[in-house]
Structure 1
Amino acid sequence: MERLYDRNRTLLLLATILMIVLQRFAAAQDYDPMIVSDAVEQEVYQNTELRFGEEPVERFRKSFYQGTELVGGYLADLGDKAGGLDVSFEEARVSLGVPLGSMDNLLAIRPYFRADHLNGPTTIDVPETLYDTGVSLFNRRVWSDRFSTTVMITPSVRSDFTTSKKAFRLFGLGLVNWQKRPDLSLSLGVVYLGRSDLPLLPAFGATWTPNPWWKFDAMLPRPRIARRLWKQGGQAEAWAYIGGTLGGNTWAVTRDSGADDELTLSDLRLLAGYEQIRAGNRGLFVEGGYSFNRSIEYEQTEDDIDLDDALFVQAGWQF
């Protein structure tokens, strides 16, 4: 019984630490987890496919232009705390790729534009639309069969387009990736969120692909478990997955009083989804789930309002 108690206490401690890490990342939307986790996960998965004699689906095009992605979604508040807050958004991204000497050292460039539309709350003033535009610069360099590095920098402007004060944000990420086994990769590094209320934080994760049908991705802040549904040689494949991710961001805004301030929306999410991956960085995804630990906060006036849980759905198309 004592051993069982110690084990349960250890599991509870690990779960608590994980939730703390997730909450501290909750405003780091400039950290595009899909770029980072896909790059690490894809390398491990392709190694697994080759070990099992399968032809991998080539994710990248042999050209400067790597494709365009359109994404949109809706989050519906389940209650009326603070008057409720529904959020819809649309985003457009363009992917470009530049070899830096070889195909093992690529610079990915992703300019993007996103608009979030707020409906509520009624107890505090918020802009109707918030904007986020910038460019993500991502480099993954392979140094040997075992080691690679991942660097990402995202300068951006996040505001309601009525003020420029503190609208410029800079995100930075650095990772060292260790291919411990053909089916397992470990990553360790640091992340700079570009926020006055959050320090330099550790970044870590692991990707395990025991066979071509399963992927276990523990890369924070978007851990997930994926099961392959079908595959068409090296042309396409489809996956179903469950996992968690982070929502929210920080924007520079103008209050109704005319004062400049910083608005932060944050939440944690559990989700399930379906994804099709096609050769040449093409495909689509649709996912939905449950949003909790939601809040809205102003920096200057220190207004901090908790919101009810919500349901959300979003989808994207790469072409």
Structure 2
Amino acid sequence: MLTTRHFLFFLTGLCCFTISLRAEPAQFGSEAPAAEPGLAFLLPTDQFLRQELDEPGDSEPLLPPPLEDAFSPVEPATSPDTEALPDLKTLLRPRFDISAEWEPEADGVEMISSDLNLKLPLYPVFGPPPPFLTAGYSFTRINAPVQLDLPRDLHQFSLGVSWMRPLNDRWLVRTMLSGVFATDFYNTGSMAWQFRGGMFAIYRPNEEWDLAFGALATGQEDIPVLPVIGATWRPSSSVKVNLMLPNPRISYLISESETRQQWAYVGGGMSGGNWAYNLRDGSPERLNYREWRLVVGWESMPPRTPGRFQSPGASYLIEAGYVFGRKFEREHQAADIKIDNTLLLHTGIRF
């Protein structure tokens, strides 16, 4: 049931996260197209996919602009030592992504989740662009009838690296590797560990099109590998059509000022998660959750600033949608648990 208490809990949790963290954007790279919203959000347990496939609010284009000027030395006012060190510290500032999601009760099952992610540029030993260190924590609460024997509180910790390298003006290769610990804190054995990775190539034949080919290993039993195949079409500066699997969407720039862009988008795709937990009798089990969703969203973000990896200021997002095809699968139980369709509310901030 939708209640005022649940809605206030959802918003309060996000606000507490938001005011607790502040960071300045990092500078590197040359001028790029304006920022555009990315994929419709996945559940926190799918943060690996969300981080690696052009996330909402990501000001980094799918294929970066020419990189000759990235991490170029700053002209010193007095001596190289006094100027270079502060500049490098600015370049390596982290990016934070905080979000919360609520799927109201259906068939007695309610799901609430929150997600905190960090993306940190590392020193560009091999030249720009640099590799990135990614870290994240996700919390998911499942309020369900006791007879379903589902866990209540689930946690996921992740740590990984990603790197993209341009081969020439038209081709880029992107690789990533991540380790995940997903558990209810009672089952902490081998079932709780997952290793995810992937590689894909991006080809840009012209300024309007990006084509991508590759695969992602999800570390999950039900869908171990997801194809990365599709295209992104930008017919104008205000329209972006993303045909990338597993979450296509269409974005439209509603309005723009010197300090803010307002984007609207529609999208859909697959979401879910995988955790280790203990049944009520103490036996270990692995839980897979899978769903499909259709969403509409709005995002407010600062415009792209020339010479910066990410624009100064924060991006805000709110998303609503319809969730269907929902089911829980357990490794040692024959019958799946299917639950009714429901709505979703998602909100987030990035800075």
TM-score, normalization by structure 2: 0.72
Name the CA distance, whole Å, in 1 between partners of 2:240 and 2:179. 31
Residue 176 (1) aligns with residue 201 (2):
yes
Provide the residue aligned with 2:349 in structure 1. 317
Name the CA distance, whole Å, in 2 between partners of 1:99 and 1:112. 20
1:66–1:280 CA contact under 8 A, matched in 2: no
Provide the residue aligned with 2:102 in structure 1. 74
Instruction: Please state how far the C-alpha of 1:267 moved relative to its aligned partner.
Output: 0.4
1:45–1:215 CA contact under 8 A, matched in 2: no
Candidates 255, 276, 282, aligned match of 2:314: 282
Secondary structure, aligned partner of 1:175: strand
Name the CA distance, whole Å, in 2 between partners of 1:229 and 1:291. 26
Check 1:197–1:70 CA distance in 2 against 1; reply closer, same or farther (3 A cut).
closer
Q: How does 1:98-177 map to 2 (within 5 A)?
A: 98-101=122-125, 104-165=128-189, 166-177=191-202
Provide the residue aligned with 2:237 in structure 1. 212
Q: Deviations over 1:176-203 (max 9, x none)?
A: 0000111100000122122344444432
After superposing the two structures, state which structure 1 stretch, 210-219 or 117-126, moved more. 117-126
Name the CA distance, whole Å, in 2 between partners of 1:62 and 1:102. 19
2:329 aligned partner, one-letter code: E
After superposing the two structures, state which structure 1 stretch, 68-77 or 167-176, moved more. 68-77
1:213 aligned partner, one-letter code: S
Secondary structure, aligned partner of 1:105: coil
Candidates 211, 217, 233, aligned match of 1:186: 211
More strand by share: 1
Unaligned runs of 5+ in 1: 1-24, 48-60
Q: Deviations over 1:222-249 (max 9, x none)?
A: 211000012234x432210000132210
Candidates 108, 111, 116, aligned match of 1:87: 111
1:44–1:208 CA contact under 8 A, matched in 2: no
Name the CA distance, whole Å, in 2 between partners of 1:239 and 1:63. 27
1:75–1:86 CA contact under 8 A, matched in 2: yes
1:42 aligned partner, one-letter code: P
Secondary structure, aligned partner of 2:54: helix
Check 1:188–1:88 CA distance in 2 against 1; reply closer, same or farther (3 A cut).
same
Secondary structure, aligned partner of 2:198: strand
Provide the residue aligned with 1:13 in structure 2. none
CA RMSD of aligned residues (A): 2.6
Q: Deviations over 1:86-128 (max 9, x none)?
A: 1001111122112534664321222111110111144311121
Name the CA distance, whole Å, in 2 between partners of 1:34 and 1:206. 18
Check 1:171–1:151 CA distance in 2 against 1; reply closer, same or farther (3 A cut).
same
Check 1:30–1:169 CA distance in 2 against 1; reply closer, same or farther (3 A cut).
farther
Residue 42 (1) aligns with residue 70 (2):
no
Residue 97 (1) aligns with residue 121 (2):
yes
Secondary structure, aligned partner of 2:148: coil
How many equivalent pairs are there?
277
Instruction: Please state how far the C-alpha of 1:305 moved relative to its aligned partner.
Output: 1.1
TM-score, normalization by structure 1: 0.79
Provide the residue aligned with 2:28 in structure 1. none
1:173–1:190 CA contact under 8 A, matched in 2: yes
1:161 aligned partner, one-letter code: F
Secondary structure, aligned partner of 1:210: strand
Name the CA distance, whole Å, in 1 between partners of 2:270 and 2:222. 18
Check 1:32–1:195 CA distance in 2 against 1; reply closer, same or farther (3 A cut).
closer
Moved over 6 A (4+): 25-28
Name the CA distance, whole Å, in 1 between partners of 2:43 and 2:263. 26
Secondary structure, aligned partner of 1:164: coil
Instruction: Please state how far the C-alpha of 1:265 moved relative to its aligned partner.
Output: 1.3
Candidates 242, 253, 261, aligned match of 2:277: 253
Q: How does 1:24-35 map to 2 (within 5 A)?
A: 29-35=46-52
Residue 266 (1) aligns with residue 290 (2):
yes
1:64 aligned partner, one-letter code: L
Name the CA distance, whole Å, in 1 between partners of 2:338 and 2:290. 10
Name the CA distance, whole Å, in 2 between partners of 1:199 and 1:69. 26
Provide the residue aligned with 2:29 in structure 1. none
